[in-house]
Amino acid sequence: MSLAVVRSRAPAAGRAPEVTVEVHLANGLPSFSIVGLPDLEVRESRERVRAALQNCRFDFPVSRITVNLAPADLPKESGRFDLPVALGILAASGQIPAESLVGREFAGELSLTGALRPMRGAFAMACGTARSGAGAEGRTPELYLPASNATEAALVPGVAVFGAADLPSLCAHLAGAADARLSPVDTPALPDTPRHAAPDMADVIGQRGARRALEVAAAGGHHMLMIGPPGAGKSMLAARLPGLLPPMTDEEALSSAALLSSSMLGFSPHQWRQRPFRAPHHSSSAAALVGGRNPPQPGEITLAHLGVLFLDELPEFDRHVLETLREPLEAGRITISRAALQADFPAACQLVAAMNPCPCGWRGDPGGRCRCTPDGAARYMRKLSGPLLDRIDIQIEIPALSATELAGRAAAPGEPSAAIAARVRAARERQLARQGKTNRELAGREVDEVCETDAEGETLLREAGERFGWSARAYYRVLKVARTIADLAGAGRLTAAHVAEAVQYRRTALSV
């Protein structure tokens, strides 16, 4: 009777909780069981591990084999536990030294030939290993992964990542064979800026008001809704927002990469410091947008964390789906609860939405192309609830481009993204120095302290609130937008001019 313990980690959104793989060999009729809340993929690892060991010329014990994945109340999924289970069996049967597993973590899916297949979540697992400081005798913790995942995991500082092509080469390394030593993967040289530049604002023709509103939204992190006819440039503007946002900090880059790594999308080094831009189709379900399933999985709002979530054709989304966005847009996080499990996912993304003014899209067109009835247009607008619109700071109408503007596109190129991004970055730095967060995140008394305005601005804000029937939330959101406008201008105190511009960003057909 013998026991071996191998350390690994479970996949989770942006996290990788530690899992201890305990392998016990006992006398009795030959059997192979896995306990500890494994899902179907993990239970199937019995057949993969058995075939891999036999095809690699290892002895498969003719014993009663019990594998326990602790903690028992944490759901285990994916084939990443194949490698630690195989190593545990080899250590328990004396085919590799059990002490070689101490202070090391392992993960990887085995093929039937013993080759290690790539897996998702390698970056998140490396982050968890680095945080735990799991190295033996004070050494840097070591993480062993399939060779195809090693470069991704090596981006994380504070952990030595080893890539193995197959089970025999890894076992030879653990056994101390001089001619089979694996070397830690070198950390890739990464730029301080994203490798792939976002689309440039210089490509946008006209739309001076929309360009200004997008700059304000980027500077303060404000949510934004664009209303306009087809072809006005709404999607084009939204796609250029990530290029206006400030560069990611090291902490933000690690957080974003860990989330992508744990998702079905995966993460690769060329995405380092790239602001996410997610644009789900309007047929998306609530589970796809905010997360769901059992165990809970992240949705689009989490995959867009620290980036942009773009919802085109907003009224075409199911109303119930849109209502699920209300709480995470306010809190920047979302908690998904199931009967036996609760998961908390980050969702600090910037919402940008676009819609037509009516079902046909041409309401208000000077050429009279709209054929929608007033009731039909009103019903279309009512697909968006007041509480949801209340949470969108900037709501602007985008007019169609005239033939004259299109003809003169080459003579009057727009301002490039680099110039706008410089102003946005300066405004963000003022906010962080003043309150340690963006203006959108201000709450309660912070708004009163930071967004104090002069007497004329206070009067204008009060009269606008009464005229448009703003809620308390809308009133304070206008104040926060005005604070961002002042930050872009380098002003210390709000004035009537800042408030007046902020008021204009709430005067649409939806709010009047």
Give residue limits of the domains in the chain. 2-180, 201-415, 442-512
May I ask the CATH class of domain 442-512? mainly alpha
Task: Please enumerate in sequence order all residues whose Cβ is within 8 A of that of 237, keeping only pairs 6 or more positions apart, or say none.
Answer: 204, 207, 210, 211, 214, 226, 398
Which pLDDT does position 505 carry in this prediction?
92
Q: Return the structure tokens found at 366.
A: 């000077």
May I ask the CATH class of domain 2-180? alpha beta
C-alpha separations of 262 from 44, 74, 170, 419 in Å: 21, 16, 24, 35
* Residues with pLDDT less than 70, the chain: 1, 13-14, 133-138, 189-196, 339-340, 408-412, 508-512
Task: Please enumerate in sequence order all residues whose Cβ is within 8 A of that of 325, keeping only pairs 6 or more positions apart, or say none.
Answer: 289, 290, 301, 351, 388
Asked whether the domain spanning 201-415 has the same topology as the one spanning 2-180, the reply is: no
Which pLDDT does position 393 carry in this prediction?
93
First to last CA, the chain: 78
Residues β-bridged to residue 2 = 25
Which pLDDT does position 411 carry in this prediction?
55
Which pLDDT does position 512 carry in this prediction?
46
Note the pTM of the prediction, 2 decimals.
0.85
C-alpha span between 508 and 351 (Å, rounded): 18
Which pLDDT does position 138 carry in this prediction?
62
May I ask the CATH class of domain 201-415? alpha beta
Which pLDDT does position 20 carry in this prediction?
95
